[in-house]
Structure 1
Amino acid sequence: MEVLPVAVPVWSVDPRTGKQRAEVGTETTAGEVDAAVRAAAAALPALADRSVRSRLLRGAAGLLEDSAAEVIAAADAETALGVPRLTGELARTAYQLRAFADVVDEGGFLDVIIDHADPAAQPIPRPDLRRYKIPLGVVAVYAASNFPLAFSVPGGDTASALAAGCPVVVKAHPDHPATSALCAELLRRAAVEAGLPADTVVLVHGFEAGVALVSHPLVAAAGFTGSIPGGRALFDAAAARPRPIPFHGELGSLNPVVVTAAAAAERAEQIGAGLAGSFTLGNGQFCTKPGLVLAPAGDDGDRLVAALTGAAAEARPGVLLDGRMRENFLKGVAARAALPGVSVPVGPGEGDDEAGRTVRPGYLVAEARDLAGAGAYDLLLEECFGPLTVVVRYAGDAELAAVLDRLPGNLTATAHLGADEAAQDGGTAAALLTRLSALAGRVLVNGWPTGVAVAPAQHHGGPYPATTSTSTSVGATAIERWLRPVAYQDTPQALLPLELRDANPLGVPRRVDGVR
């Protein structure tokens, strides 16, 4: 007798109360994942036309905006991120979709290079060679908890994959399944209206579905935003396949900030207040939250800490994305605060709401000499997701360097410099930025890392464990993750792709015989 799999319901949960809101559906079985991937793979040929992809992306942006009220209400009910924050996130998501449509229309992402034959070339004759990039195939996207729009179903991974010509199967995050289902339907509608199969975008639910997805032989690449343990497990699974695939994971980041003595002397109060605003933004649930701040010891450092204390104490308690994250945050705070020599000027912890769902922002202070060697203080060099930062007081360049030498890879690294340091050509400030560039994918001066502008020059990535690859998940070059180059040698014009023919009928940017 055949034993049928038990359907596991997928619930939408209100993080403000912890109560179930509605049953969204059921977790996707292994057989359903197989069907979803195969349906997406069947849509691949239809995406070959760049004009269709552009229409899809622009149409998706328009539908998202037309349904803004419904989408924002659903996302707020499932994440407690608030209507103002989610309104901005929806605008960012729509902008991102249109930005990738522009990338598709322009065609430079194809990276066309043509070298005509040169029988006289030395040291060996050169054949006719023509190179461009083609889509990898079906892309698996793993939605993020903290960005239900911009880094989830309609987010950057999906937009860039579709722009590259890849169908997408998205694994919804359990913190916002209703929002995910709503957005998936909008994307599928946009696909149909653009003349593409609805299964150009497919949604699956459940932990086991995520494991099955990264292992499916027709999945050609994956994009992930989430925790280090979860991302590393999927990364290892992607590498262990009979045919390994690229896994572009964003896993975790401490986002160190270095405040020089000169900067503290000039504007300690401004830096302290700015830090408070940055690490409490979104209740500390940004992947770019500054989690470790190296500040000078002495009177100016004391001024900075005093300003931080005043500003952080005024920050209101807030709700984290789910109960598990709240529990992990409270445990993480307690373990760090218990370390010898660590002080707690403003104690992060449980909020005072009747439902027992909120947490209070706060910060800890430690000494650089304690972090210089391996040991229990290594915990301070790990990300604690939520509204917590650690201020590390350093006495001199040697202590600062010792801590920097122990930091893992990060998405961002920030330097707050004095006016003379910032104006000096070369010198110690330049050396500091060189040191920070080895630690992170984005280096900031006299600013705060929360907030990632969507722009062609943006890079949102960094050395492991910030990401598992050297690519970016934000900005125009994010499309490169889902492409691979192909070169044609001595191929007749009639058999070449249109982008590689001498006439260039599609008008794409190219480099021909070394000239753009």
Structure 2
Amino acid sequence: MSFDPRTGAAWETPPDSTPDEVDDTVAAAVAAADDLAGATPDERAGWLEAIADTIKDHKGELADKADEEVALGLPRLTGECGRAADAIRFYASVVREGGWLDAAIDHGPPDLRRVNVPLGPVAVFGASNFPFGFGVLGHDTATALATGCPVIAKAHPAHPRLSAALAGLAVRALDEAGAPAGSFGLVSGFAAGQRLVGHPGIRAVAFTGSQRGGLALWRQAAERDEAIPVFAEMGTVNAAVVTPNGTDKFDENGFVGSFTLGMGQFCTKPGLLIAPEGVAERVAAALENNPPHGWLLTEQIAESFTGGVRELEKAGARPIARTPASGTGWQAQPAILAVTPAELRRNPVLLEELFGPVALVVEYASRAELDEVIAMLPGSLATAVHGDEGDPDLPGLVGKLSRRCGRVVVNGWPTGVAMGWAQQHGGPWPATTSPAHSSVGAAAPRRFLRPVTFQGVPDAALPPAVRNSNPWHLPRRVDGVLEQ
């Protein structure tokens, strides 16, 4: 069953996959793997474009179905659906560019040819909070298909009806575009997900969600007879820092808008504000003057949010603003709490991520206290710094924060993740299980590849990207010189 967050009403959902159905879906992916790996970049790009087109063609009905299950509102979901299609089309352009192959040739002797090859079938576990961008046809699925890896996605329990609808559209689009049967499949249910990760035909796992869920998959994959990589984007508390010189210009309304966006259910939410004394009251007033309204995605998230705020208070955080919840369903009371650097040091629980519309403000009285708090920060996806352009504290803070996150934002908020060639959506442990990789942007496909060097191999036996004739016409480095 799935549920309407606004009312708690239940929806009938597709049945869970049986063990035999999981095995059959994996077998089809394994059978398709060689054909996908051998497909030209233009062919792969065409498959992605076919998926993007069908998503856009059905944007309205998909947004309606999503709203019934996640209650994020039609404007937000219609926009997200369109952006997801644009992202898939972007990955098609990345495939055609070819740099992800890292093709290199040294004529030697010995003759060496190095190129990235696909890992094989990938299991994708999407997120509840972005049913399109990080759902069964989100960034993970698109980038795995881009590299020539078949995908088996698990339907998300927060939006299983939407997951099934998206999967049906994708299978039809891929078939009509000429992709091998088995290129994409869907399974449903917790047990099916476990069986998928343990199946010997699966060669990698991509996950977006909670730290608990990501680490469970990571451990299961590591304990297989043949361990496989898990690329888990789990998120932790993301910090925003206000410098002493930036206090007067600090936009408290912007902060409130960022940490309550989507009812605080973004992995990039700035949940920790580190600021000079006096900023907490400004932020509290901003929240009270513009209280957000909305629903949490699931009953479990709503219960965890309520219990999590209570745990923060037990650990020493004091509430300074809380707006009332209204209406029915899984609503939450957005809140701001304050804590001292000393309390933060004594209670590590205060640095744990809490999904939902809550933020913790840590007020510092000196540069030493600011440095102390930054030294305690866990690895995160993104951080923000607010200060004057010529602020003498800015370079040092940017450098320190960059060692603890995957993206540093100056005088802005980390909540949005732009698509592009320079994007990094990842971060040090425990934000992800693989900090060298990104789950968004042109670098994202590289997760599902591994390099192989071919030494003294006849030209006809080489992968196309490193043959002498360069039949795919892609960039590569030949004897140290970039060949376009």
What range describes the TM-score normalised by the shorter chain of this pair?
A: over 0.9
Q: Which residue of 2 aligns with 1:442?
A: 407
Deviation at residue 230 of structure 1 after TM alignment? 1.2
Q: Which residue of 1 aligns with 2:25?
A: 36
Percent of pairs with identical residues = 47
Q: Which residue of 1 aligns with 2:374?
A: 404
> Is the 8 Å Cα contact of residues 8 and 329 (structure 2) preserved in structure 1?
no
Give the partner amino acid of 1:345.
I
SS at match of 2:481: coil
Which of 439, 462, 468 lines up with 2:427 in the alignment?
462
2:1 equivalent to 1:18: no
Q: Which residue of 1 aligns with 2:345?
A: 372
> May I ask how many residue pairs the two structures share in their alignment?
478
Which of 219, 225, 231 lines up with 1:242 in the alignment?
225
Give the partner amino acid of 1:388.
V
Give the partner amino acid of 2:24.
A
> Is the 8 Å Cα contact of residues 243 and 393 (structure 2) preserved in structure 1?
no
Deviation at residue 514 of structure 1 after TM alignment? 0.5
> Is the 8 Å Cα contact of residues 280 and 315 (structure 1) preserved in structure 2?
no
> Is the 8 Å Cα contact of residues 369 and 394 (structure 1) preserved in structure 2?
no
2:64 equivalent to 1:62: no
Q: Normalising to structure 1: TM-score of the pair? A: 0.90
Label 1:397 to 1:67 Cα distance change in 2 as closer, same or farther (>3 A): same
Deviation at residue 306 of structure 1 after TM alignment? 3.6
2:389 equivalent to 1:419: yes
Label 1:263 to 1:138 Cα distance change in 2 as closer, same or farther (>3 A): same
Deviation at residue 337 of structure 1 after TM alignment? 2.3
Deviation at residue 198 of structure 1 after TM alignment? 4.1
Cα distance between partner residues in 1 of 2:263 and 2:194:
30
Which of 444, 447, 465 lines up with 1:478 in the alignment?
444
CA deviation string 1:369-413 (max 9, x = no partner)? 22134xxx2221000100000000111111112222222110001
Deviation at residue 19 of structure 1 after TM alignment? 1.2
CA deviation string 1:338-363 (max 9, x = no partner)? 344x3322126x6121x253112121
Which consecutive unaligned segments of at least 5 residues does structure 2 have? none
> Is the 8 Å Cα contact of residues 243 and 385 (structure 2) preserved in structure 1?
yes
SS at match of 1:390: strand
Cα distance between partner residues in 2 of 1:276 and 1:146:
19
SS at match of 1:173: coil
CA deviation string 1:77-114 (max 9, x = no partner)? 10001111111211111111111111111212111100
Deviation at residue 437 of structure 1 after TM alignment? 0.9
Deviation at residue 52 of structure 1 after TM alignment? 2.2
Cα distance between partner residues in 1 of 2:330 and 2:406:
34
> Is the 8 Å Cα contact of residues 257 and 290 (structure 1) preserved in structure 2?
yes
Which of 164, 171, 174 lines up with 2:154 in the alignment?
171
Cα distance between partner residues in 2 of 1:160 and 1:419:
37
Give the partner amino acid of 1:511.
R
Which of 310, 324, 340 lines up with 2:285 in the alignment?
310
Q: Which residue of 2 aligns with 1:500?
A: 466
Q: Which residue of 2 aligns with 1:121?
A: none
SS at match of 1:140: strand
Label 1:339 to 1:107 Cα distance change in 2 as closer, same or farther (>3 A): closer
> Is the 8 Å Cα contact of residues 221 and 482 (structure 1) preserved in structure 2?
yes
Cα distance between partner residues in 2 of 1:431 and 1:419:
13
> Is the 8 Å Cα contact of residues 263 and 419 (structure 1) preserved in structure 2?
no
Which of 356, 360, 363 lines up with 2:333 in the alignment?
360
> Is the 8 Å Cα contact of residues 351 and 357 (structure 1) preserved in structure 2?
no
Which consecutive unaligned segments of at least 5 residues does structure 1 have? 1-10, 118-125, 422-426
SS at match of 1:307: helix
Label 1:24 to 1:198 Cα distance change in 2 as closer, same or farther (>3 A): farther
Cα distance between partner residues in 2 of 1:503 and 1:20:
59
Which of 87, 99, 116 lines up with 2:78 in the alignment?
87
Structure 2 matches for 1:262-277, cutoff 5 A?
262-264=245-247, 266-268=248-250, 270=251, 272-277=252-257
> Is the 8 Å Cα contact of residues 280 and 363 (structure 2) preserved in structure 1?
no
Cα distance between partner residues in 1 of 2:298 and 2:425:
25
Give the partner amino acid of 1:165.
G
SS at match of 1:224: strand
CA deviation string 1:458-492 (max 9, x = no partner)? 00000111100021000011000001111111122
> Is the 8 Å Cα contact of residues 372 and 399 (structure 1) preserved in structure 2?
no
Deviation at residue 443 of structure 1 after TM alignment? 0.8
2:135 equivalent to 1:152: yes
Give the partner amino acid of 2:265.
Q
Which of 283, 290, 299 lines up with 1:323 in the alignment?
299
Give the partner amino acid of 2:380.
N
Cα distance between partner residues in 2 of 1:220 and 1:240:
14
> Is the 8 Å Cα contact of residues 143 and 173 (structure 1) preserved in structure 2?
yes
CA deviation string 1:423-479 (max 9, x = no partner)? xxxx54222111101110011111101000011110000011110002100001100
Cα distance between partner residues in 2 of 1:408 and 1:316:
28
Cα distance between partner residues in 1 of 2:128 and 2:463:
40
Q: Which residue of 2 aligns with 1:195?
A: 178
Give the partner amino acid of 1:158.
T
2:109 equivalent to 1:139: no
Give the partner amino acid of 1:277.
G
Give the partner amino acid of 1:278.
S
Cα distance between partner residues in 1 of 2:393 and 2:283:
26
CA deviation string 1:53-86 (max 9, x = no partner)? 1111000000000001110000011000111111
CA deviation string 1:4-24 (max 9, x = no partner)? xxxxxxx23211111112x22
> Is the 8 Å Cα contact of residues 43 and 196 (structure 1) preserved in structure 2?
no
CA deviation string 1:193-214 (max 9, x = no partner)? 1112342111111111111111
Give the partner amino acid of 1:305.
A
> Is the 8 Å Cα contact of residues 214 and 234 (structure 2) preserved in structure 1?
yes
Give the partner amino acid of 2:351.
L
